[in-house]
Structure 1
Amino acid sequence: MLPGDNADLRKARGAFFTPEPIARFITRWAIRTDADDIVEPSCGEAVFLHQVGKNHRGRIVGIEIHAASASESERTLNREGIPAVVHASDFFFHEEFGQYDAAVGNPPYVRYQDWAGDARAKSREAALRAGVNLTNLASSWAAFTVHSALHLRTGGRLGLVLPAELLTVNYAAPVRKFLLDYFSEVTLVLFEERVFPGVEVEAVLLLADGYDPTGQSRTDRMSVHQVRDADGLSDLAAARRWTPPARGGRWSAGLMSAAGLSAFTEVTESAGFATLSQWGDTTLGMVTGNNKYFALSPAKVAELGLASTDVVLLSPPGSRHLRGLSLTSSDLRRLGADGQATFLFRPSAEPSDAAWSYIRSGEDLDVHTAYKCRVRKPWWRVPSLRPADLFLTYMNADTPRLSTNRAGAHHLNSVHGVYLKQEHRKGGMSLLSIAALNSITLLGAEVVGRAYGGGMLKIEPREADVLPLPSPSLVDGQRDALNELRPTIAAMLRSGLLMEAVASVDEILLTKGLRISKRALTAARSDHADLAARRMARGRSN
């Protein structure tokens, strides 16, 4: 590490330096002749330019905002006989548009929370030059990708290491559309394991060929390679071709096999399937500002002497207890007896004397100074949501679960609440938690959700809105069979037999209800298993 630089400074500017096998693979793909002009934006230690070779005749240019890194990179490149020039400047002020045959590199990854001020404004301006309107949620790499492409000549190539957010997040939709609109070929290389040790961000390789600033050479299809790790780049298997359903749509379905994607598309586009948003609304839970203070066990409520009007029923923080079909009043009593927090301190009117005493103790502990507490009046009254019809788990080792809220409990932001439309409430309360346990929904969760640290599958409300689920008409048509199956499914889930439960529901909804073939169902199940295994393998390798 250079003098004056450190890990915190590198993280702040989004610098994650690239393993040599990846840099070598991308650079060799991008360079077609020794006369090609090459640029590496945000080059850091210029690991990509070091792969060019000393006999290269074309221009070799790097741009790096960190002056010491820029100087050292140019020195080491020149020492190796590589005639490169590295500019110490902000790439968004570098505007040699249409001057290069290839742009290669690993753009900085700075999350939107830290990507602010002049840097954000300049990056959005750069993206707008290409007609790409990025939202305030966009991380730094998105604008870098677009700005890099603008530096290419017609026919040029873009080879970048990008976060896997490219495939799934909403803010990347205009970037995905841009790539398909202005390149004749788009290829992705996906890794089963993480290739940046110790870094939570998952990476993909983008190889975009045939840049055409007029958009006349646009493509509707893309190629996808999958390898285990960086060493697998030396022996790529044949790519699979895939057509995204929409130009800015998510690319995560491209991970499926051809047979699995066909089965998934056939089912989800049929009248027998809908999305969760067609059943109802999914919302975030309540935010207390301090769960340890506000979430109380029955024993703690008794110890404090709180009145019934001082507390409301609560699904305990977390979601481990929501892996069955429902949360009942007896479940809450059992959880409370085990010491879990099944009450929320939230006086509905004038607090009791005991509640006032507890409020004063909270102030003594500075609970009221926490941000969420100090911005509300009074600080001790948590904004309330009515009890949801169902709970949806949003951090999952296996798959998101729907659990009917039979207890009428409130929920915190460790789970989501689903509020069913009135016309679907009776059927949804009774059967949706069972119906959701099918192979198409499980596969859909891997597609619409996001892999998170430790291999967890995270699903936010907007992602949950498009989660594919059996339609109200299909569920109603199989109502008797599902009700008969309920005790068996509940017992399977208590025993941890998730996939056995899914197979039973598949038989009713998919095989008998929708009459999908055994071959199609096998393909969907196989793809779900592959995507889940891939997600968990990346978590283990982190």
Structure 2
Amino acid sequence: MCCCRPTTEHVPVPRRFARPGDAVPGLVGTVGHNDLVKNDDRAPDTAAARKARGAFFTPPQITRYLADWAIRSSADAVLEPSAGDAAFLVAATERLRELGAEAPALDGVEIHPASAATARRRVAQAGGKARIRTADFFDITPEPGYTAVLGNPPYIRYQEFRGKQRAQSRRAALHAGVTLSALASSWAAFTVHAALFLRPGGRMALVLPAELLSVNYAAAVRKFLFDRFASVELVMFDEQVFPGAEADVVLLLADGFGAGPSGHAVIHRARNAESLTSELVQRHWSPVDPSDKWVSGLIGSRAVDELQTLHDGGRFSTLEHWGDTTLGMVTGNNGFFALSPARVSELGLRSADLLTLSPPGSGHLRGLTLSPGQLASLGADGKSVHLFRPTGRLSAAAQRYVEAGHAAGVHLAYKCRVRTPWYLVPLVAPADLLLTCMNADTPRLVTNRAGAHHLNSVHGVYLRSEFATLGRDLLPLAALNSVTLLHAEMVGRAYGGGVLKIEPREADRWLVPSPELIAERADELRAVRRTVAALLGKGRLLDAVDAVDDALALNADLESVQAARHSLASRRAVRSRRAR
């Protein structure tokens, strides 16, 4: 990886931070000393406490790699906006000393006082001076005086990232012209805010969740990076770098702040943190729209071009063209509302108290259909194939069950207490097709011949009237092709345990065979249906896909498509094994 020519010009220190040796208002103690924090700040910094504020400390191979990339002169001014216990600041100190700086001074921000005190001590031991402000980074007004900003921003999911802190973060991003949705996790605004501390031409090196590549809420961040930096590079890992965290990570290397837009990105592949010292495989990638998902940058242009050609030629269309995909029902307490036949018999409930239900989860949806017979078999095995949803006046048995639920506190669950009466689950009509949303291999479409209701562990697909008959008959079968499998990896999102998740908005964009192609190849598809069903029953997904590919007679470079899908799926599989 090439670096720009090191600069030797003096960089002014922003007024927000003190010069070497100064006491800094708002800091705990003074610069460069092993300070003691006040008694009320000495709460132990446990793993649970760090996770709550989104702090996951970074392996030294990564801190050193990013420091070496971002810091190119002994005169570089360095900021770490999420200092933690100074892993990055120590690496930056060592880098600056290697470049000739004596007792380099670096700036940082850390919200946790005990960590800030530890950071000052560690930097002093490394031969530097740490000016660390104990504050919420979003409270600090950007002053663009830094050559390099580096670190590992806090990762707090939107469910826990709320209130004043969320409002501050969104205002900070808006200051840069970036509007973030309410679903954005903490790192998104942090990344944008951190960039505003760079002087023109500055560099930013961050550890970010791999969500950067794929989630919808990060679209504005992706566009911001391409628009504002002259160069954007990413380092992807085949294995998990933070086994204790719930998300995979990428390394962002953004150079030339204010000199954008960048016309392309460079994607580097590394096996793990230890392999960063070796020569990395790299690929240049030019997105049509930088705000779109960046997953395509991992697989090269041939496979992406094939998908585009099939879509443009009308052979494939989005799932949204077929119909609407929606979330399933939320009961508030599946253990109370989802019942097995044996439990129904034990409670003495009537058929009027119940609705047919696809059991919680999606493990039973690995074939092509969910039929009444299959549902009965699941019930005989103890699965919850009934939804407690009484209509009209409560029967005596239903009344007893409601009272038992109330006594057990079921009515206090959030989804229960916000509806009246608490025991009536808001209904979603039975869908034409069921779509699995959490997948170890690939999302599955299943024809809902049982007419079962579904919970939010799966999605429902409601076909347009003109496509309903054809779609119920053949779309789940036809969707088991190499192109659709690859595109699922591209529109979905991979989680740390190797799971591929697809949400309704992502499913809307998912490429599946078009109605025209399926109608054209209907006889061939029906001819392989039993073979495909048998292969799926034996867990031989890829053999089933080969049979469907042949039936569809796709005029495409399937070799590149299959290789691309294998590459993306293998990355998930490796991380799944590492997470066990």
Please state which band the TM-score falls in when normalised by the shorter chain. Answer: over 0.9
In structure 2, the residue matched to 1:450 is 493
In structure 1, the residue matched to 2:393 is 350
User: 2:150 matched to 1:70?
Assistant: no
Task: State the one-letter code of the partner of 2:91.
Answer: Q
Task: State the one-letter code of the partner of 1:56.
Answer: A
Displacement of 1:500 in angstroms is 0.6
Task: State the one-letter code of the partner of 1:205.
Answer: L
Task: State the one-letter code of the partner of 1:540.
Answer: R
Q: Distance in 1 between matches of 2:461 and 2:245?
A: 33
Displacement of 1:453 in angstroms is 4.4
Q: Distance in 2 between matches of 1:529 and 1:238?
A: 17
Q: Deviations over 1:344-363 (max 9, x none)?
A: 11122223232223222323
Query: Structure 2, unaligned stretches of length 5 or more?
Result: 1-36
CA 1:178 to 1:200, structure 2 compared with 1: closer, same or farther past 3 Å?
same
In structure 1, the residue matched to 2:424 is 381
Task: State the one-letter code of the partner of 2:450.
Answer: A
| Secondary structure of 1:240 counterpart | strand
Task: State the one-letter code of the partner of 2:188.
Answer: A
1:20-39 → structure 2 map (5 Å cutoff): 20-39=60-79
In structure 2, the residue matched to 1:131 is 177
Match of 1:262 among 281, 305, 308: 305
Q: Distance in 1 between matches of 2:386 and 2:126?
A: 67
In structure 2, the residue matched to 1:49 is 89
User: 2:484 matched to 1:484?
Assistant: no
User: 2:49 matched to 1:6?
Assistant: no
Task: State the one-letter code of the partner of 1:428.
Answer: G
| Secondary structure of 1:430 counterpart | helix
Task: State the one-letter code of the partner of 2:528.
Answer: L
Q: Distance in 2 between matches of 1:121 and 1:304?
A: 48
Displacement of 1:122 in angstroms is 2.1
2:226–2:260 CA contact under 8 A, matched in 1: no
User: 2:365 matched to 1:325?
Assistant: no
1:419-458 → structure 2 map (5 Å cutoff): 419-458=462-501
In structure 1, the residue matched to 2:164 is 118
Q: Distance in 2 between matches of 1:300 and 1:113?
A: 34
CA 1:151 to 1:338, structure 2 compared with 1: closer, same or farther past 3 Å?
same
User: 2:224 matched to 1:178?
Assistant: yes
Query: Structure 1, unaligned stretches of length 5 or more?
Result: none
Match of 2:254 among 208, 213, 234: 208
1:56–1:82 CA contact under 8 A, matched in 2: no
In structure 1, the residue matched to 2:8 is none
Match of 2:212 among 150, 162, 166: 166
Task: State the one-letter code of the partner of 2:538.
Answer: S
1:190–1:204 CA contact under 8 A, matched in 2: yes
Matched-pair identity in %: 53
Q: Deviations over 1:91-127 (max 9, x none)?
A: 2233352201111111111122222233222222221
Q: Deviations over 1:403-422 (max 9, x none)?
A: 00011111111111111011
User: 2:320 matched to 1:277?
Assistant: yes
Q: Distance in 2 between matches of 1:275 and 1:541?
A: 34
1:398–1:457 CA contact under 8 A, matched in 2: yes
| Secondary structure of 2:199 counterpart | strand
Q: Deviations over 1:429-463 (max 9, x none)?
A: 00000011001111111111122242111111111
CA 1:66 to 1:368, structure 2 compared with 1: closer, same or farther past 3 Å?
closer
Q: Distance in 1 between matches of 2:419 and 2:458?
A: 22
In structure 1, the residue matched to 2:274 is 231
Q: Distance in 2 between matches of 1:444 and 1:68?
A: 46
Displacement of 1:238 in angstroms is 4.0
Match of 1:527 among 544, 554, 564: 564
Task: State the one-letter code of the partner of 2:185.
Answer: S
RMSD of aligned alpha carbons: 1.7
Task: State the one-letter code of the partner of 1:361.
Answer: A
Displacement of 1:67 in angstroms is 2.2
Task: State the one-letter code of the partner of 1:502.
Answer: V
1:38–1:102 CA contact under 8 A, matched in 2: yes
Query: Which segment is superposed worse, 200-209 or 257-266?
Result: 257-266
Displacement of 1:491 in angstroms is 1.2
Q: Deviations over 1:212-271 (max 9, x none)?
A: 1xxx53112111011110011111324201122312111111111333233233323431
Q: Distance in 1 between matches of 2:126 and 2:329?
A: 59
Displacement of 1:369 in angstroms is 2.5
Task: State the one-letter code of the partner of 1:44.
Answer: G
Q: Distance in 2 between matches of 1:118 and 1:281?
A: 36
1:188–1:204 CA contact under 8 A, matched in 2: yes
Task: State the one-letter code of the partner of 1:353.
Answer: A
Which TM-score applies when normalising by structure 1? 0.94
User: 2:573 matched to 1:536?
Assistant: yes
Task: State the one-letter code of the partner of 1:132.
Answer: V
Query: Which segment is superposed worse, 468-477 or 52-61?
Result: 52-61
Q: Distance in 2 between matches of 1:387 and 1:178?
A: 41
| Secondary structure of 1:322 counterpart | coil
Displacement of 1:380 in angstroms is 1.9
Match of 2:244 among 190, 193, 198: 198
In structure 1, the residue matched to 2:34 is none
Which TM-score applies when normalising by structure 2? 0.88
User: 2:148 matched to 1:102?
Assistant: yes
Q: Distance in 2 between matches of 1:367 and 1:386?
A: 24
